[in-house]
Structure 1
Amino acid sequence: MQLAGSTTNLGLAMADSPHHDDAGKTLILSIKEDVINLKQKSEEVLQSIAFRAMIFFQIIAYGSYSILVHLCEENHAIAFSSTAMNFILEFVKLCFSFIGVIYSSTTIKFSPDLPQYVAWFRQSLPYSMPAILYFINNNLAVHMQLYMDPASYQILANFKIFTTAILYRLLIKHKLSRQQWFALSLLFFGGLAYSIGTIKNSSLTSKRSTTSSTQMREMYIHPFGIPMIAIYCTLSGLAGVYNEYILKKHYSESLHLQNLFLYSYGTILNFIPAMGSAIVALHTTRSFNPLRGFSFYTWLIVVTQALNGLFMSVVIKHSSNIIRLFVISFSLIVTAVLSYFIFHINFNIYFFISFVTMTCALSLYYS
């Protein structure tokens, strides 16, 4: 009887074993799926944190740019060559992009094959147009600082949002709602009111307070600064929209390769006038030094703007050019704070009116 019972139990155990195996396999598969899902969620969280960190850095970089340029002024003049600074800046970005292409691509081979170089050149041609626009704009942005204080520059730079939105509508056929049109109108008239009011005040500002960056006490805009900022914002909007169009049209291309094309043109365009101005300066200085006038603040501009450019290309390709405008808008707060503590600028009533107007306009536009 005992043997029979044992045999019966053994048979039942053997009969149940397939069910136990299935349950074990299901449990293992469930654990694997949980691990994969956890890994994916972790990657998404890390990507989100990295993206937010890039945005935060860009806000700081944009907000500090005009401050740093003013700190480089000597006797109401830019101490360094803007093309030399932008050449180094573009070359740094070019090096990062080149390294990125080498380490991320398994299909691109750098060989002295003439047809391959011809193919690369043709592939790079669309990037020449935004490179030319950025070349003009980046050098204009440096010299424009002589005609306005940092906070005024940052306020008026918000016109980029207006020009970019209009160009989005004209070139990419991006439709705007009535609320967005109202927001753009509010933004435009807010900036216009600020410009008119501050130009009037600039005539009352003493020469001492506008020619020395350490004695900048009042907000000011010289009349010549208005057409400069208008050209700057128009070219910036055109370059941003066109660059986004190219990046997304060739979305399958490596971002590093796209940046390599763009920064190659930027490096060449800035190299030629940088060397030319250094050669011309030989007659007066008796020494060839393209980096003449460079200071700690100049190199700080190079580092921050190089990283800013690389981060922005990631944002534009994988998100939207509107994020770039969001960064520009919030950088005004950084500029205002730094202007107050570094230059002790007294903000006029037009600044606060414009700040409130633009904040409302941006809130309406982005909502």
Structure 2
Amino acid sequence: MEYRKLKDQDKDGDTNEDDVESLRGKAISGVSLNPLATLGGSSGDRSKWKRKSIVTLALTILTSSQSILIVWSKRAGKYEYSVTTANFMVETLKCALSLAALARIWRREGVTEDNRLSTTLNEVIVYPIPAFLYLVKNLLQYYIFAYVNAPGYQILKNLNIISTGVLYRIILKRELSEIQWAAFVLLCAGCTTAQLNSNSDRVLETPVQGWIMAIVMALLSGFAGVYTEAIMKKRPSRNINVQNFWLYIFGMIFNAIAIVIQDFDAVANKGFFHGYSLITTLMILNHALSGIAVSMVMKYADNIVKVYSTSVAMLLTAVVSVFLFGFHLSLAFFLGSTVVSVSVYLHSIGKLRR
């Protein structure tokens, strides 16, 4: 979920040297003196490795299939279903998952001041802004595929790393390391290289409209991320599922308004679920579960796992698109995606060393 992701990234980015030494001390004190246990690994280590592998695999599959399912859900180049209703269902499912997680916490720990849903107007009133930003960004996600193919989208959406980093520097005054600035330059170079087109008169495969939409999406995602982190710092003890619940409630409200404005006649005449198929349902599930997978990576694995998942997902999306959509896997795309993967890795390393 978006909040859990930001919260854990913030914790990761703000780790100081004392925390690192503390962790090292715990690791040293936790080493078994039994050589057989050292060689074979404890059951706890094997369990952690297994859980880490499952989460990494889940994130890779969800990330790579996200753009594929959106493109696959089209019929004759058009969406037969209403994208606003699909987005509404995504927010509804995420809200239900947040409530389910809260119900489990209530049974285990009881209702406390930090996990109760009841709140004040001053706390709730801040959620409409990021909810609206995510609404516009998520709707653009559907329309960008009129100009960008699935592999190209996987490449261009990494631009949000740049927008998020720059906005952190401007708004939250967070310092960026030299490695991170270098990673931003490499990321721009990699995205451009992957879009080179040698088979037509156009230099870049993605037209200007696609680049503009990708940049707007990156800015919206970055600003929403910075804003949500500022909200979280006001009350860090607040349960993340409560924050997600209110975010998704406003997301549902804004998506309901979008349905009335954009697709009211179609929904009223043809029905809310008109045009839905198995692929559409899988796409909605994918969008809802992707945020949870990112949260699990940050909780049970580490940021490097997310980097590897993103890199593998770019290549996996391209390979699958070759068979489903006739995508041409060019040398430029391979080199560009490689540069993007390296830049994402460098950005992660730069954040850890900051």
The bucket for the TM-score relative to the shorter chain is: 0.7 to 0.9
Q: State the secondary structure of the residue aligned to 2:275.
A: coil
Residue number in structure 2 paired with 1:131: 131
Cα distance, 1:163 vs. partner?
A: 1.5
Q: State the secondary structure of the residue aligned to 2:327.
A: coil
What one-letter code is carried by the residue in structure 2 that aligns with 1:262?
Answer: L
* Residues 289 and 361 of structure 1: CA distance in aligned 2, closer, same or farther (over 3 Å): same
2:215 to 209, 219, 230: 230
Residue number in structure 1 paired with 2:186: 186
2:330 to 348, 356, 361: 348
Cα distance, 1:220 vs. partner?
A: 4.0
Cα distance, 1:176 vs. partner?
A: 2.1
Residue number in structure 2 paired with 1:61: 62
What one-letter code is carried by the residue in structure 2 that aligns with 1:68?
Answer: L
Matched, 1:255 2:240: yes
* Residues 348 and 333 of structure 1: CA distance in aligned 2, closer, same or farther (over 3 Å): closer
1:107 to 84, 100, 111: 111
1:258-290, CA deviations, whole angstroms, 9 ceiling, x for partnerless residues?
A: 1111111111111222244443226xxx83412
Matched, 1:271 2:256: yes
Cα distance, 1:308 vs. partner?
A: 1.4
Provide TM-score, normalisation by structure 2. 0.74
Residue number in structure 2 paired with 1:36: none
* Greater displacement, 59-68 / 314-323: 314-323
CA distance in 2, matches of 1:48, 1:175: 33
Matched, 1:334 2:288: no
* Residues 278 and 357 of structure 1: CA distance in aligned 2, closer, same or farther (over 3 Å): closer
CA distance in 1, matches of 2:156, 2:328: 18
Cα distance, 1:142 vs. partner?
A: 1.0
Unaligned runs of 5+ in 2: 1-41, 350-354
1:225-274, CA deviations, whole angstroms, 9 ceiling, x for partnerless residues?
A: 11111101111122233334434553311121111111111111112222
Unaligned runs of 5+ in 1: 1-40, 110-115, 206-218
What one-letter code is carried by the residue in structure 2 that aligns with 1:346?
Answer: H
Q: Percent identity of the aligned residues?
A: 29
Larger radius of gyration: 1
What one-letter code is carried by the residue in structure 1 that aligns with 2:282?
Answer: L
1:278-332, CA deviations, whole angstroms, 9 ceiling, x for partnerless residues?
A: 43226xxx83412221111110011121111233345568998897666444421
* Greater displacement, 93-102 / 256-265: 93-102
Residue number in structure 2 paired with 1:18: none
Residue number in structure 2 paired with 1:171: 171
- Which structure has the higher relative contact order (CA within 8 Å, separation 6+)? 2
Matched, 1:97 2:113: no
Determine if contact 2:183/2:346 at 8 Å carries over to the other structure.
Answer: yes
Matched, 1:243 2:225: no
CA distance in 2, matches of 1:135, 1:349: 35
CA distance in 2, matches of 1:256, 1:189: 38
Root mean square deviation of aligned Cα:
3.2
Residue number in structure 2 paired with 1:290: 272
1:366 to 342, 345, 348: 348
Q: State the secondary structure of the residue aligned to 2:77.
A: coil
CA distance in 2, matches of 1:268, 1:321: 33
What one-letter code is carried by the residue in structure 1 that aligns with 2:111?
Answer: T
What one-letter code is carried by the residue in structure 2 that aligns with 1:229?
Answer: A
Residue number in structure 1 paired with 2:266: 281
CA distance in 2, matches of 1:167, 1:327: 25
* Residues 55 and 168 of structure 1: CA distance in aligned 2, closer, same or farther (over 3 Å): farther
Cα distance, 1:175 vs. partner?
A: 2.1
What one-letter code is carried by the residue in structure 2 that aligns with 1:82?
Answer: V
* Greater displacement, 316-325 / 94-103: 316-325
Determine if contact 2:193/2:332 at 8 Å carries over to the other structure.
Answer: yes
CA distance in 1, matches of 2:297, 2:249: 20
CA distance in 2, matches of 1:321, 1:266: 27
Determine if contact 2:307/2:341 at 8 Å carries over to the other structure.
Answer: no
* Residues 309 and 362 of structure 1: CA distance in aligned 2, closer, same or farther (over 3 Å): closer
What one-letter code is carried by the residue in structure 2 that aligns with 1:293?
Answer: G
What one-letter code is carried by the residue in structure 2 that aligns with 1:257?
Answer: V
Cα distance, 1:177 vs. partner?
A: 2.1
Provide TM-score, normalisation by structure 1. 0.72
What one-letter code is carried by the residue in structure 1 that aligns with 2:215?
Answer: A
Q: State the secondary structure of the residue aligned to 2:80.
A: coil
